[in-house]
Structure 1
Amino acid sequence: MLAETSRLLNITIVGGSIPERSGDRLYNTCCVFGSDGKLKAKHRKIHLFDIDIPGKITFMESKTLTAGETPTIVDTDVGRIGIGICYDIRFQELAMIYAARGLFSLYFHWPMR
């Protein structure tokens, strides 16, 4: 749907993040579609959020998701951008890599409840 929409409207779409199955692994993935409707890049969330505060909260993304391994840089109609998802923003090294290459950084976050 995002590929078709980007092609029909002649725009670049950064598709937030969705669960993506690859083989027997599940990733939190952001897809970027160019104005021609073609997939330009795919970013898999690098930093998974695991927390265990006894008696309060336990949330372990790593029980379900696999971490991505590389920063994602993509050329778009509006410039070169670097992608990050949610907890990736808490690790300044990723933003520093992007900034050193003169990129915009885009981060996507699911609201925590």
Structure 2
Amino acid sequence: MAEHAHSRFIAACVQMRSGRDPLANRDAAVAAIREAAGRGADYIQTPEMTSLVERDRTRLFDTVGPQESDPTLAGLREAARDNHVFVHVGSLAIRTGDKIANRAFLIDAGGEICAAYDKVHLYDVDLPDGESWRESATYTGGDCAVVASLPWAEIGIAICYDIRFPALYRALAEAGATVLTAPACFTRQTGEAHWHLLQRARAVETGSFMVSAAQGGRHEDGRETYGHSLIVDPWGRVLAEAENDAPGVILAEIDLAQVADVRARIPALRNARPFTVRHA
């Protein structure tokens, strides 16, 4: 685990309502990054599918390309460099052969990509209201968890549906992460039921901060997302929350001393023991 000279920084979540035009979405994200940086943010996170929210598979494939030519990634790298901040791109749709990667990027203050992560868990569900999703039909799942270094902390990178898999978050924390993430495009229905619960649970279980930027509102492709971007401390307290589903920026100070304090008080990571399961 890397050593960090400073234990405090300002984190920001950019809440968006991305539509079908990647360039318009890029410009909205760049403007929000500029705002967050102007308000003192050191680390700025955008939501899942920053570049576009598009449920039509044909239209999606016609719009996105490979990482090397992605205009949103290029624009956000420039924004990080211009504003001297770390930018965590919650995810972009990146063409990888006959499928698409749901890929997150961590960009340093010089505009260089210092980490990338492909969403491991794909959202294949049928909801009670008839809403159905099959991400595996379009996206290719990743197979590697990622912990990356910020100047202040180790950060565990994850995306949206990953938050329902606590083993991933425990593994990230055991690997040294003190800040965990779940930038999301949560549906309104599941968000109303589970968003706050899951964010706070992952924070408490691991004694970590959770920082999760969200998509919010009715999108051009017809879906509705929940919004309510969140920053949660290791004790499960909400430090900052977007009040609704409107685009905007939230900020909170992250004091890593709280991680050490909470993990000392409730050493759940250290107390874990191997076990087997048997049928009685």
How big is each residue's C-alpha offset from its partner over 1:2-42, in whole Å with a ceiling of 9 and x where there is no partner?
A: 11111111111001111011233301111110011100111
1:7, 1:98 → 2: CA distance? Answer: 28
Contact 2:92 2:103 in 1 (8 A): yes
Is the CA contact 1:12–1:77 (under 8 Å) kept in the aligned structure 2?
no
- Distance in structure 1 (CA, Å) of the matches to 2:78 and 2:127: 44
Q: Is 1:3 equivalent to 2:77 in the alignment?
A: yes
State the match for 1:96 in structure 2. Answer: 170
Which structure features the higher share of helix residues? Answer: 2
Report the CA distance shift for 1:58/1:4 in structure 2 as closer, same or farther (over 3 A). same
Conserved? CA contact 1:19–1:26, under 8 Å: yes
Question: One-letter code of the match for 1:68?
Answer: G
Corresponding residue number in structure 2 for 1:81: 155
TM-score between the two structures when normalised by the length of structure 1: 0.90
Return the offset for 1:54.
Answer: 8.8
DSSP 3-state at the match of 1:17: strand
1:82, 1:50 → 2: CA distance?
Answer: 23
The CA distance in 2 between the partners of 1:55 and 1:25, in whole Å, is 28
Instruction: Give the whole-Å Cα distance in 1 for the aligned partners of 2:112 and 2:102.
Output: 20
Say which of 84, 89, 111 aligns to 1:37: 111
- Contact 1:41 1:74 (C-alpha < 8 Å) held by counterparts: yes
* Larger deviation, residues 40-49 vs 16-25: 16-25
- Residue ranges of structure 2 left out of the alignment (5+ in a row): 1-74, 188-223, 225-280
* 1:71–1:83 CA contact under 8 A, matched in 2: yes
1:110 is aligned to: 185
* Letter in structure 1 aligned against 2:180: S
Deviation at 1:75, TM superposition (A): 0.6
Partner of 1:24: 98
Structure index of larger Rg: 2
SS at match of 1:95: helix
Q: Note if contact 2:147-2:176 (Cα within 8 Å) is conserved in structure 1.
A: no
For the 8 Å contact 2:92–2:102, the answer to whether it is kept is yes
The CA RMSD over aligned residues, in Å, is 1.7
What TM-score comes out, normalization by structure 2 length?
0.38
* Greater strand share, structure number: 1
Q: Please, which runs of 5 or more residues in structure 1 have no aligned partner?
A: none
Contact 2:160 2:186 in 1 (8 A): no
140, 143, 155: which is aligned to 1:69?
A: 143
Counterpart Cα distance in 2 of 1:57 and 1:39 = 36
Does the 8 Å CA contact 2:119/2:142 hold for their aligned counterparts?
A: yes
Deviations 1:35-81 (A, max 9, x none): 11100111110000101369823211111111011001111123110
Match of 1:52 among 126, 129, 134: 126
CA distance in 2, matches of 1:86, 1:10: 27
Identity among equivalent pairs (%): 31
Aligned counterparts of 1:91 and 1:83: Cα–Cα separation in 2 = 13
